[in-house]
Amino acid sequence: MTERTTGPGTGLAEAGAVLAREAARFASFGWMRGTSGNLSVVTNRDPLRLAVTASGLDKGELTATDVVLVDAAGQAVSGGRPSAEAALHARVVRLTGAGAVVHVHTIASVAVAERCPEGIVFRDLEMLKGIGRPTHAGEVVLPVIGNSQDMAVLGDRLEAARDPDMPAVVVAGHGLYVWGADPRQARHHTEVVEWMLQLHLARR
């Protein structure tokens, strides 16, 4: 049985509008070329429900209706075809308690991960405060995990590699996954991590 997708209590239309706006921003940065990337936001905790961008669309052209409601396994509970990576979004939410997840295909994430397959170290940067560190001092590691078309495999790799001090992982040869308490914080985390990746590239 499909669940209601609009109307009081569902918030799906509102979630779709937020995701379309966030996606347009990331696409304008060149981080969602072609039909790459996907976004999600939690609409309900119990039972878990996420609004996820629909699959195969140009993420720079989304409207509020280009969104699908999925369950804790990433399975659609409303009409439409959710992102092929919806199950990984749901896994990230279950693991971290995040309220929103961002996936972008940035060149810097792929390029730096090729140079640092064991993990990317960010050290002594004011921008570290943008991912929750109390000061610029010290270092954190952005984990790198191998790619797979199987979201259960990717989820297992993410669970094994993730660092509680770093709300992101890089999927090698693929792109960046980032999360936050809500879409705004997930966006800020994405922009901060990407800034540090671009700095890494600029220094070499």
188 is in an annotated binding site: no
Alpha-carbon span 65 to 22, nearest angstrom: 14
Cα 182 to the center of its chain, rounded Å = 11
Nearer to ligand MRU, 55 or 198 (CB): 55
Q: Which is nearer to ligand MRU, 154 or 192 (CB)?
A: 154
| Stretch 22-41 residues interacting with ligand MRU (CB under 6 A) | 34-38
Tokens of 193: 């991590």
Q: Which amino acid is at 109?
A: S
The reply on whether position 56 binds ligand MRU by CB under 6 A is: yes
CA–CA gap between residue 201 and residue 108 (Å, rounded): 7
The Cα–Cα gap between 19 and 40 comes to 7
* Shortest distance, position 46 Cβ to ligand MRU, whole Å: 26
Is 66 a binding residue for ligand MRU by CB under 6 A? The answer is: no
Name which of residues 89 to 128 contact ligand MRU (CB under 6 A). Answer: 103
- Please, which of residues 71-90 interact with ligand MRU by CB under 6 A? 83-85
CB 116 within 8 A of CB 144: yes
**Which residue, 42 or 102, is less far from ligand MRU as judged by CB?**
102
Helix (H, G, I), strand (E, B) or coil at 100: strand
Which of 33, 75, 67, 37 has its CA nearest to residue 171?
37
Is 103 annotated as contributing to ligand binding?
Answer: yes
- Cβ 110 to ligand MRU shortest distance, Å: 12
For residue 102, what are its two tokens?
Answer: 């961002």
Beta-bridged to residue 45, according to DSSP, are 48
- Judged by CB under 6 A, which stretch of 52-60, 87-95, 117-125, 187-195 contacts ligand MRU? 52-60
Question: 26 and 59 in contact (C-beta within 8 Å)?
Answer: yes
Size of the site for ligand MRU (CB under 6 A): 12
Q: Is 146 in the site for ligand MRU (CB under 6 A)?
A: no
For ligand MRU, give the closer residue by CB, 104 or 128. 104
Compare residues 84 and 201 and give the one whose CB is closer to ligand MRU.
84
Instruction: Indicate if the alpha-carbon torsion angle 67, 69, 71, 72 is positive or negative.
Output: positive
Q: Which residues are annotated as a binding site for Zn(2+)?
A: 103, 105
Q: Which residues bind ligand MRU (CB under 6 A)?
A: 34-38, 53, 55-56, 83-85, 103
Q: Which residues are annotated as a binding site?
A: 103, 105
